[in-house]
Structure 1
Amino acid sequence: MTAAGDWTGKVGDVWAKEWRRTERSFSHLAPQLARAILAVAPAEGRFMDLGCGVGSTSAAVAQARPLASVTGVDLSAPMVAIASERHPLSNSRFIAGDALTLVVPPLDLIFSHHGVMFFDDPRAAFSHLRRSAVAGAPLVFSCFRARGENRWVDVLDHAIGAPVWEGTSYSPGPFAFADSAFVADVLAHAGWKVLAVEQADFDYVAGEGASDEDALADALDFFGRIGPAAAAIRAAADDARRDLLDRIRTRLARYAVSGRVTMPASAWIWTARAAGEHA
């Protein structure tokens, strides 16, 4: 389980160090999310990117809507520092903090690239976001579909012998919003009217290199730092670690082609609007 508070510590620090590879892993999803955001984004107004990471989605929207003011917010101060350095745009800024406690002017658009699955209480969180938005303001976000729909995590789960998750209660983490019925219920009770739910399939880029062997080595190193196998790899003793890495490498090898390790992945892209009167 990864909760929101983890991003202010080790998790956020690791993602900041690994930002180039994490950005690469989502490089085929990012354009799909950007299109969904820009399809409903007004020409101007106050926009917020929730869980902005190193700022790529914020920057894409800010560049496409030069009359808008885009604020990217993330719990990880190191990632916000990288975002500020990467994207010195006149109509965007980045803030380290909790979007649920910040005092902000009424928002005309809220969007997020995989930043909404870590709330302790998602209904309360989305209710707060509704109160922060003007009536009719769009909300657009992406989140992973089920683990079994994401081959990259399915492969790692099998390699480390992870138990099959059969829980039905909500638990913060990367796959917490996999159940579309659950998410629809959360949004409805929080005052959001769902407009569209898009299944977004994409290639998850796990490794790259001059050869397939180099790409496999890159993918192994990446998954040793980020993802469901990272903790198991760190915790294993020397011999067990070598065996575990061999199992992962064997499973990844079938996806190494032309110096890249790419694996099937799938997300939801949700589009909703703030219902009722602004409070």
Structure 2
Amino acid sequence: MSAAKPREPAPPATTFAVLGYGRFGQAFADLLVQAGHRVRVWDPHADVPAALAAASMPAAVDGAAWIVLAMPVPHMRAALLALRPLLHAGQTVIDVGSVKMHPCATMDELLGAAIPHVGTHPLFGPLSLARDERPRRVVICPAAGHPQAAAHVGALFRALDCEVIEQDPEAHDRAMAMTHALAFFVAKGLLDIGVDDGLALAPPSFQGMQHMLAAVRGDAGHLFAAIQRENPFAAEARAQLLAELERVHRQLLADSDGDSLAIPAPPA
């Protein structure tokens, strides 16, 4: 993992084709517009503002320097198959999904050496953008055959005031299974048993949990199943967590020594 680099001067305004106008696609399009870029959006299933809407996928892509794949991961292969005849080597394709192994492999397969492409995962969402929370981070997963494209993508995100972290797709998905996927898993369990951020009697120790619940629901709660099923390491992480919680539960029932159940302090 490389160290984050300082913010770079904004590159000249350029044209982006954003394919997909769900909650993140909309937030990312707004971020690009605020940064002074030209944005054309194609999503036949969404209500796209007239100022951004392209009449068709070819109209969105024609003349765009950047192609942003913001559709759900299961739809990406079909979108790339439709896109491929429209693309040329002067364009760069990025995806913005929360898993990287499958999207990166699909781009490698269908775009290959001919079309520059980079996997990215912005570690922010609509709610955190609206709150202007910092630091704003993004993971990029460079394609082996396109190192220059990865450098350009890194410069783009740093100009959007993001800290850039480089990882390979497998390392990214393993890390997200133990963080992103588990956070959503725990949040869903808490919400399903009636624990929510509206509780009147919430001690300070619960405030961090309240923030997590709000972030999960506000940024991407609708993507719960996708985050769990599309990350190849999420099931293993959930099983580990459940096994450990069951062990602690049984230890509590057994009236074990309290010292052995203490939550360890953070390292000095």
TM-score scaled by length of structure 2: 0.37
Q: Which protein has the bigger strand share? A: 1
Q: Which protein has the bigger helix share? A: 2
TM-score scaled by length of structure 1: 0.36
Whose Rg is larger?
2
